Structure 1
Amino acid sequence: MRRAFFHSCLSFIIFTYPVFGETDKDKEPEPKKVTVEATAEIVSDFLWRGISLAGESMRRRNGESYSSLTYAPALQPTINIFSPEKNFQVQLFGNFQLTDRADRDSDKRLFQSAPGGVGPSYHGEESKYWDPYNQDTCAQNMSNQLTGAGGDISQCGSRVPGKDVNGKNEPNGMRRSDGLFVAFTYHFDPTKLGSFSGGIWFYNTFNKSPAFAMAPSAQTPNPYAAGGTGLPYSPNVYNANNSNSITRLSWHEYYIIWKFPFLKDYEPTLSFFTQYSTENGGYMAGRNYISFSVAREFRKDEFFRIHPSVNVGYAMGNNAIDNRNGIQDITSTLTFFFGNFFVRGGNVYRPDLYIWDTNNAFGYAGGDPGRANWNRTASDGLVPDPSKMYGSGNSFILNSIDSFSSGNAAADSVAKIWAREKYTLQKIPQMLFYFSFGYTHVF
């Protein structure tokens, strides 16, 4: 009896408790895995630091006035890859425009030898208005011949009227806003001073946007670019509508991010970015950008969550040419999460229009550097309206203004400038809006 009881107890101990060397404490912890977070988002406009990287280019492409809300939809996939300890992060972000991807004839000229080249907007238009430097005699003779004013098309040489000399599509399709962003970030372990991160990012478009013109020394001249040949390295030759001036738009920044150790529920964050770019000889690179942001997630870990955020960005040199300082943008967003799905609305407030009132921000009037003086002042918050640049109607009105004469040259000059600016200029949209929806999944 005692022996049977002893064997029963021994069996209970053996089968109930782990053997020596296999306790829970001694088991090796499972290795941490790499975390991958993938997001797919459809946005109404590609906005970044107050810049409309797609919408305003679309307005120029389509000959439309600038507006606070532009529907230039894009697919923006994002992949974040975190190391097992979450210290190292790689981010891939893409922008792919969904509409108006093809180039179009934006300047609506009847005869051109190249995109952005000279040519009349309507039959009978005097060549002094569209070819003041007498640079394309072929287009002139074609126009004269069709209007019965003579014209010798033998001046065209090997260029065939109607085939080589006709309306051209400018390089302005929205596919030129497509791009890829790559960032490498290291997150240091938190301390009593907060959490610090640092890294570098690169961005490269697959096709350059015509909103940016290269430095002349880096371009191939187009002898038929609107505005005339001018002197060597004259900006008139390097029209932003000239296909020879289109190249990749790429730049990169170094950055430091500091998340404060207090009010953690509001995620107060101070960031410093310093940019270096070889694009346009570095002329278009912003010097430094400082931002302060706060955000909070309500109903955290619930199916339905709300996440508002506000970011204030200060530019210390908007680019190397204008070199203007000021608050560049105040960007606010409100995001509603439904599980892994989300809907977001946002607005960008540009409090200091001095930062934006420049040809380097909005492009030259009609994409033509020869019209650089059309935006004469950086203090009125006005820029040329794309809807008033081209087409037979606009050209007729602008030519009528230019041909006005009262007999007093000095007074006429002032009157012409006033009338032209009254007709062509519009207010820079100070507020921009956008919306998006998307889905996020963590692997």
Structure 2
Amino acid sequence: MIPKLVRFLIGAFFLLLTNSALFSVTVITKTGKSFEKVSIERSTELDIEFVDENGIYTRIKKDKVLKIVSDPGEPTLELTLDESIPTGAMKNPTEKSAVPQDSFLLSQSVSNDGAFQGSDLFGERQARRNKTAYKDTYEAYFMSTSIELLGLPKAFKFGLTVMNPLVDRSNTDADFRFQTAAGGADQSNVVNATLASGTLAFDPNSVKLRKEKNGLNDYLFSRAMYDHETRMGTFSAGFIFINTNDPNYVMRGLWVIAWRPPFLSWLNPQFSINNRMLSEYNGAFQGGHNYRLSLSHEFFKGEAFRITPSIVMGYADVNDNVDRRKGISDISPRLQFDYTKFFFAANMMYRATPALVDNVTYTPSDGVYADTNANDGRVTDPSKVFGYENAFILNQIAANSPNEFVKRTLTQHYQQQHIVHAIYFFSIGYTIKI
């Protein structure tokens, strides 16, 4: 009799300790928003943290909470005695689907440009395709679709992001040259000789105007991360793989190490290192590192209207294996406005160290003279290279220059422009669970 009574008392004590974890509740905020079927994981004097059926954790301030109520239909807890279980207190098994209610977190948006670690993804390629000068705002519209997998253990994160250009996807003839292959040697002199002599001196099926591969590319970003929480903060490790439909690009692989410190939680600081493992262009970028610091804060969290300013700063070590330059790759602030499921964001990418992209790898040069000065902050202007007007001006410079030095100086002055330090782009979209 005594052992059974002891087990009963122990079971009752265990029930009191675990009552909040056994029942699901509904958290209702003062704005009327409710979080149903959640379990309270942690409660402090300032905030509470709870998790829903999909494993998504949410933290809100207590002064924003109106009330917490038990979910209707929750089965009654009964005390049972089981000789095989030391605690003696059990919850009767309930029928519950092992499949989470929501499987994915889907986010779609339309933007006029995009950037990654100081590199412009669409706008500058569009400028070279359309023979326009580099500028701070482009109309390289693309749709971004991101999917985050829900229902995973809290420590695991997996997501995919696809970027599909909506304009300028096709290839065009940007150099107006007669060639045997796209990007090949200029055969216009042979065509001109034929026109002058009246005798066909080339094969029209071989030497002709050809389209260069300059259409805007699709991108696929794949992310897989594991978080490990400790008293010293949250340590994360994982991978980012970047694919695009360009045979020269192949795939870029990054091994990511990150740390979220346990202090300054209001700013949500995170330090990360993106280490390049795989690379395109014959390993020109392999082995580089980018050290990044991100800060953000969401105002009015848990309410319908929210504002989230954030900033990410990156330091490149090194930019590539040819120039091997170091410096601040980008300072990228973002201001996002959310209303229920919809959002609008204003973004900027600022290149604090323009020398990192002052080479033909990042900004290809088709000028009369190769851009060999990586310290002048200037690159070839795509609008000053090809076409009859440019050819006329360049011929006049060549004909009236007294020597090669003057010719080169005047030609580069005409064909080059300063590297654009700040690039602005905007996004509008929505986020839902499916």
TM-score class, shorter-chain normalisation, is 0.7 to 0.9
Distance in 2 separating the partners of 1:360 and 1:435: 26
The structural deviation recorded for 1:278 is: 4.0
**Do 2:244 and 2:250's aligned partners in 1 also have CA atoms closer than 8 Å?**
yes
Could you say what the CA RMSD is over the residues aligned between the two structures, in angstroms? 2.4
Distance in 2 separating the partners of 1:201 and 1:374: 34
Equivalent residue number for residue 305 of structure 1: 306
Distance in 1 separating the partners of 2:138 and 2:275: 29
TM-score (norm 2): 0.76
In structure 2, list runs of 5 or more residues that go unmatched: 1-74, 82-87
Aligned residues: 351
Q: In the alignment, which of 173, 181, 186 is matched to residue 221 of structure 2?
A: 181
Residue 145 of structure 1 aligns with an amino acid whose one-letter code is T
The verdict on how the C-alpha distance between 1:28 and 1:262 changes in structure 2, with shifts beyond 3 A counting, is farther
**Do 2:80 and 2:90's aligned partners in 1 also have CA atoms closer than 8 Å?**
no
Distance in 2 separating the partners of 1:329 and 1:18: 56
More helix by share: 1
The verdict on how the C-alpha distance between 1:26 and 1:320 changes in structure 2, with shifts beyond 3 A counting, is same
Give CA-to-partner distance per residue, 1:78-109, whole Å, 9 cap, x none.
Answer: 11114442211211111100001111111123
The verdict on how the C-alpha distance between 1:257 and 1:19 changes in structure 2, with shifts beyond 3 A counting, is closer
The structural deviation recorded for 1:252 is: 0.2
The percent identity for this pair of structures is 30
Give CA-to-partner distance per residue, 1:383-427, whole Å, 9 cap, x none.
Answer: 110000100111122122223353xxxxx1221111011101101
The verdict on how the C-alpha distance between 1:19 and 1:390 changes in structure 2, with shifts beyond 3 A counting, is closer
The structural deviation recorded for 1:261 is: 0.3
Equivalent residue number for residue 216 of structure 1: none
Bigger mean CA deviation after superposition, 164-173 or 421-430: 164-173
**Do 1:353 and 1:381's aligned partners in 2 also have CA atoms closer than 8 Å?**
yes
Equivalent residue number for residue 143 of structure 1: 192
Equivalent residue number for residue 45 of structure 1: 113
Equivalent residue number for residue 320 of structure 1: 321
Equivalent residue number for residue 383 of structure 2: 387
**Do 1:77 and 1:93's aligned partners in 2 also have CA atoms closer than 8 Å?**
yes
The verdict on how the C-alpha distance between 1:362 and 1:41 changes in structure 2, with shifts beyond 3 A counting, is same
Equivalent residue number for residue 39 of structure 2: none
SS at match of 2:169: coil
Give CA-to-partner distance per residue, 1:27-54, whole Å, 9 cap, x none.
Answer: 3475584752111111110211221111
Give CA-to-partner distance per residue, 1:340-386, whole Å, 9 cap, x none.
Answer: 110000111111112121122111235xxxx5x53232222111100
Equivalent residue number for residue 270 of structure 1: 271
The verdict on how the C-alpha distance between 1:113 and 1:195 changes in structure 2, with shifts beyond 3 A counting, is same
Equivalent residue number for residue 21 of structure 2: none
Compare relative contact order (CA 8 Å, sep 6+) and give the higher one, 1 or 2. 1
Distance in 2 separating the partners of 1:18 and 1:294: 44
Distance in 2 separating the partners of 1:25 and 1:300: 37
TM-score (norm 1): 0.74
The verdict on how the C-alpha distance between 1:323 and 1:83 changes in structure 2, with shifts beyond 3 A counting, is farther
Distance in 1 separating the partners of 2:156 and 2:77: 38
The verdict on how the C-alpha distance between 1:141 and 1:90 changes in structure 2, with shifts beyond 3 A counting, is same
The structural deviation recorded for 1:183 is: 1.5
Give CA-to-partner distance per residue, 1:130-178, whole Å, 9 cap, x none.
Answer: xxxxxx5xx54432222x3x2642x43xx3x2x543221111112xx20
Q: In the alignment, which of 56, 59, 70 is matched to residue 127 of structure 2?
A: 59
The structural deviation recorded for 1:311 is: 0.8
Give CA-to-partner distance per residue, 1:204-240, whole Å, 9 cap, x none.
Answer: 102x2xxxxxxxxxxxxxxxxxxxxxxxxxxxxxxxx
The structural deviation recorded for 1:72 is: 0.3
The verdict on how the C-alpha distance between 1:24 and 1:266 changes in structure 2, with shifts beyond 3 A counting, is farther
Does residue 439 in structure 1 map to residue 430 in structure 2? Answer: yes
Distance in 2 separating the partners of 1:381 and 1:18: 72
**Do 1:83 and 1:89's aligned partners in 2 also have CA atoms closer than 8 Å?**
no
Equivalent residue number for residue 225 of structure 1: none
In structure 1, list runs of 5 or more residues that go unmatched: 1-15, 120-135, 209-245, 407-411
Distance in 2 separating the partners of 1:19 and 1:301: 35
